[in-house]
Amino acid sequence: MHTLLVTGGAGFIGSNFVHYVLGKYPDYAVVVLDKLTYAGNLDNLRDLTEGPRYRFVRGDIADAALVERLVGEHGVRAIVNFAAETHVDRSIMDPGAFIQTDVYGTHVLLEATRKCGLDRMVHISTDEVYGSVPTGLSTEEDKLEPRSPYAASKAGAELIAFAYHTTYATPVVVTRGANTIGPCQYPEKAVPLFTTNALDDQPLPIYGTGTAVRDYIYVEDHCAGIDLVLHQGEPGRAYNIGAGNEVNTVELAAAILDFLGKPHSLMRFVADRPGHDMRYALDTARLRALGWAPRYSFHEAMEKTVAWYRDNEWWWRRIKSGEYLEYYRKQYGRQPT
Ligand code: NAD
Ligand code: TYD
């Protein structure tokens, strides 16, 4: 049995990855370590039963004693680190938690990988570390120029990871994923926010002129890329994971509204995000050379995603109350209803 410690496994991509790995590798076991912040959600793992192949532990990646105990107790051979504070707008409101979890927490996991002699650590990073790229595609050798507190904390974590590889030969690899969409994404990110607002005939808040471009990738394609890097990535290297879609916010909102049969008049232009990165775009030749290619087009990815929120109101209705309403009021100056 090959045991992975999947940190942040109750979040959006982490929980999709847990299902992906348990489905693909019958001889793998997964221990999920998750703090269950506002974005962590046990509903994302509710179909899994605790047993020899799956364990859930609530805790903080910054707790070194806990991490090392879990590695020893469960015979963990590799760590895949999804745990992070992840939302740019929240990082603008309150950067401290981002530095604590994304930078210091990653350091704790690197230290456990080194001290316990693990086979591998995969650190999940983001295309946002390149900063705003007006033209062309970012390659893994490009300079890191993060511009938001979120992106800067992710870049800081990467630099520590590479320093561990250089200094201690720690077998760490880094993935830099594009904007990911699919089931179980907390509805503060653009796609689940726009979709759930549209389902309720509420306005879709579009920052500035709506011309900021992102590359939207389906979560299953992102997980397949991480899986490949886990098994075949070269330690000390970064791997871009993007689908090559260039979609701006107005086009994104239009695709969601059209699929749901809702009017474009629901688009509402609001104040821009401070320091808004206007474009991300990735060169994925390095990952493609390992045999990866995305399976879903932008429209397929979008339709599968929007249909999932349409069909799983139970999942998001409960979230869109309480703390979420407080955040929404602070961010948009109004409640969604
Ligand atoms: P998410 O916010 O849905 O999930 C993050 C998870 O980490 C949550 O379950 C949360 O409870 C947990 N967590 C937070 N702090 C923790 C701590 N201190 N200890 C243990 N667990 C903690 O995020 P996501 O969208 O699934 O992103 C996962 C990873 O992928 C992140 O590292 C993010 O930077 C990266 N990423 C995300 C995207 C995207 O579009 N969502 C794109 C590229 C990279
Ligand atoms: P988001 O999902 O927050 O991801 P990113 O980390 O790339 O910013 O936002 C995706 C794009 O949508 C980004 O250009 C910001 C924009 N956006 C809006 O226009 N309105 C919103 O309410 C949100 C959350 C995002």
**Percent with pLDDT over 70 in the chain:** 99
Other beta carbons within 10 angstroms of residue 281's beta carbon come to: 21
DSSP for 73-135? HHTEEEEEE--S---HHHHHH--HHHIIIIIIIHHHHHHHHHHTT-SEEEEEEEGGGG---SS
Report DSSP state, residue 144: P
Q: Rounded mean pLDDT of 281-289?
A: 98
And the tokens for 223? Answer: 């997980």
pLDDT at 334 over 70: no
Give the Å distance between the CA of 219 and the centre of ligand 1: 13
Q: Rounded mean pLDDT of 165-187?
A: 98
pLDDT at 149 over 80: yes
Ligand 2 contact, 71 CB (< 6 A): no
Strands 179-181 and 204-207: unpaired
Please say if 200 is a catalytic residue.
no
Ligand 1 contact, 155 CB (< 6 A): no
Give the Å distance between the CA of 84 and the centre of ligand 1: 4
Q: Rounded mean pLDDT of 298-309?
A: 98
Q: Rounded mean pLDDT of 270-274?
A: 97
Q: Which atom of ligand 2 is nearest to the CA of 86?
A: 6
Best probe residue, ligand 2, of 128, 247, 273, 278 (max atoms within 8 Å of C-beta): 273
CB–CB of 331/273 below 8 Å? no
Give the Å distance between the CA of 11 and the centre of ligand 1: 6
**Percent with pLDDT over 90 in the chain:** 96
CA angle 234, 9, 162 (to 5 degrees): 30
Residue type, 192: P
Phi, psi of 76 (to 5 degrees): -65, 135
Please say if 326 is a catalytic residue.
no
pLDDT of residue 326: 87
Q: Please tell me the distance from the alpha carbon of residue 32 to that of residue 10, in angstroms, as a whole number.
A: 8
Q: Rounded mean pLDDT of 58-72?
A: 98
Q: How confident is the model at residue 10 (pLDDT cuts 50, 70, 90)?
A: very high
Other beta carbons within 10 angstroms of residue 117's beta carbon come to: 10
pLDDT at 284 over 80: yes
User: Using one digit for the tens of pLDDT, what is the confidence trace for 235-259?
Assistant: 999 999 999 999 999 999 999 999 9
HSE (CB half, 13 Å, CA atoms) of 196? 24
pLDDT of residue 335: 58
The 10 Å CB-count burial string (b at 16+, else e) for 314-337 is ebbeebbeeebeebbeebbeeebe
Average of per-residue pLDDT values in the chain: 97
Q: Rounded mean pLDDT of 138-160?
A: 98
Q: How confident is the model at residue 322 (pLDDT cuts 50, 70, 90)?
A: confident
Q: Rounded mean pLDDT of 20-26?
A: 98
Best probe residue, ligand 1, of 82, 121, 226 (max atoms within 8 Å of C-beta): 82
Ligand 2, atom 3: closest residue by C-alpha: 189
Q: Please tell me the distance from the alpha carbon of residue 66 to that of residue 63, in angstroms, as a whole number.
A: 5
Give the Å distance between the CA of 7 and the centre of ligand 2: 24
Residue type, 75: G
Alpha helix positions (H), the chain: 12-24, 64-74, 88-93, 96-98, 106-115, 149-168, 190-199, 219-232, 249-260, 285-288, 298-311, 313-319, 323-332
Catalytic residue among 34, 85, 102, 150: 150
Best probe residue, ligand 1, of 5, 7, 13 (max atoms within 8 Å of C-beta): 13
Ligand 1 contact, 183 CB (< 6 A): no
CB–CB of 222/177 below 8 Å? yes
Q: Rounded mean pLDDT of 199-221?
A: 98
pLDDT of residue 43: 97
Q: In what side-by-side order are the strands of the sheet with 76-81?
A: 54-58, 28-34, 2-7, 76-81, 120-126, 172-177, 238-241
Please say if 73 is a catalytic residue.
no
User: Using one digit for the tens of pLDDT, what is the confidence trace for 70-124?
Assistant: 999 999 999 999 999 999 999 999 999 999 999 999 999 999 999 999 999 999 9
Q: How confident is the model at residue 64 (pLDDT cuts 50, 70, 90)?
A: very high
Give the Å distance between the CA of 82 and the centre of ligand 1: 5
pLDDT at 336 over 80: no
pLDDT at 266 over 70: yes
Whether this prediction's pTM lies above 0.95 is answered by yes
And the tokens for 121? Answer: 């650590």
pLDDT at 213 over 60: yes
